[in-house]
Amino acid sequence: MLVRTIVIYSLMIVCAVAFHEHTFAVWELRELLMERQLNLWELLEQLKYVTDEQRAVVYAEIEHMKSEIIAIVDQLLAHDRSQHP
């Protein structure tokens, strides 16, 4: 019983540390990346039915989403490079 408890606690500690210094930061960035990608797809779908006046606004929002996605990817690469020089 004691050995089982020690093994379980050891496993929990290993999972908490998780072999990567920036695990939560990476997870959070990946979550943001998925959210921005969904927003980009929704904006691309809006192009099917927007009027000409609204199209310029949608284009601007698409450019904004692209810049946010690029920034998130750059942060993910920076985290990876810091862990694997």
Does pTM top 0.75 for this prediction?
Answer: no
Q: Where are the domains of the chain?
A: 21-83
Structure tokens belonging to residue 49: 């039915």
DSSP 7-58: HHHHHHHHHHHTT-TTHHHHHHHHHHHHHHHHHHHHHHHHTTT--HHHHHHH
Candidates 40, 38, 33; CA nearest to 58 is: 40
Task: Please give the Cα distance from 1 to 77 (Å, whole number).
Answer: 44
List pLDDT tens digits, range 25-79: 888 999 999 999 999 999 999 999 999 999 999 999 999 999 999 999 999 999 8
